[in-house]
């Protein structure tokens, strides 16, 4: 079950965190993995790990917010079966503390970047006779998260795009779903805590962990396992759905 043999998968932001876990797991399941990162160096650790497994992987330096770079990259990749839109950046701020430059930066990567990759991938998915688009949304699109105004806005847009793509391309055998994680323990989280809460790292890690009813953050490999299922043939009857993977945060956090 869950084999991706003879499948070509593109994972944006596939060099670290959740994206790396997805890239490695997809390669383990025999997909040919194409990692899109801002620089090839950012993908090096994932490439090395996948290469050590004797699996196929290619890294591409590309800014997902730049449509011409995205189109050129997808033309090089060619026919594909799976697109995982994972690349994204975070921001802390309310509506009146988010300046225009930061608003534009988050929207350009987290919304336009997803659009650019879908725009470039659809023709290549058609060549393959169909395939899967999987978008990384967030529980921030489902519930109110303090100080995450533009991030929540962007992830809400991603969720809406998921529904639109699922509807528009259903007849072409293209499925589209999204995943909405709660907090996931990645190097990004450790860096975020160190930058914003110096001297209080352990305290803040504990606080953020306990914001999930299960009392911990998710592991990247847990998100990757759900991504694998949704991108496999076993999930062929699923489209237009969002999957919270949140330790009970959305339904049980009261």
Residues labelled as active-site residues: 151
Location of structure tokens 């499948």: 7
DSSP string, 51-95: HHTT--EEEEE--TT-HHHHHHHHHHH-S-SEEEE-------B-T
Classified as helix, coil or strand, 192 is: helix
- The dihedral built from the CA positions of residue 16, 19, 25 and 30, taken in this order, carries a sign that is negative
Burial code (b: 16+ CB inside 10 Å, e: under 16) for 200-221 equals eeeebbeebbeebeeeebbebe
Tell me whether residue 40 is exposed, middle or buried, using C-beta atoms within 10 angstroms of its C-beta: 0 to 12, 13 to 18, 19 or more: middle
Rounded CA-CA distance 157/2 in Å is 29
Contact 248, 216 (CB under 8 A): no
* Residue 147, phi-psi category: left (phi > 0), alpha (psi -120 to 50), beta (remainder): left
């Amino acid at each position: 079950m869950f084999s991706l043999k003879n499948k070509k998968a593109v994972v944006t932001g596939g060099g670290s965190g959740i994206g790396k876990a997805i890239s490695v797991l997809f390669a383990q399941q025999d997909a040919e993995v194409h990692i899109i990162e801002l620089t090839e160096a950012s993908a090096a650790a994932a490439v090395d790990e996948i290469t050590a497994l004797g699996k196929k992987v290619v890294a591409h330096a590309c800014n997902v917010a730049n449509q011409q770079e995205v189109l050129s990259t997808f033309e090089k990749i060619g026919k594909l079966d799976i697109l995982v839109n994972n690349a994204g950046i975070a921001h802390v701020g309310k509506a009146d503390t988010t300046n225009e430059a930061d608003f534009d930066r988050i929207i350009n990567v987290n919304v336009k970047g997803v659009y650019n990759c879908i725009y470039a991938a659809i023709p290549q998915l058609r060549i393959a006779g169909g395939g899967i688009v999987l978008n990384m949304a967030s529980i921030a699109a489902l519930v109110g998260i303090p100080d995450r105004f533009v991030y929540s806005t962007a992830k809400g847009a991603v969720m809406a795009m998921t529904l639109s793509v699922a509807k528009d391309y259903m007849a072409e055998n293209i499925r589209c779903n999204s995943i909405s994680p709660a907090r996931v323990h990645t190097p990004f989280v450790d860096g975020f805590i160190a930058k914003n809460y110096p001297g209080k790292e352990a305290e803040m890690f504990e606080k953020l962990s306990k914001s999930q009813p299960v009392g911990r953050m998710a592991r990247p490999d847990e998100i990757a396992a759900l991504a694998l299922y949704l991108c496999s043939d076993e999930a062929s009857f699923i489209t237009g759905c969002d999957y919270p993977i949140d330790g009970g945060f959305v339904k049980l956090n009261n």
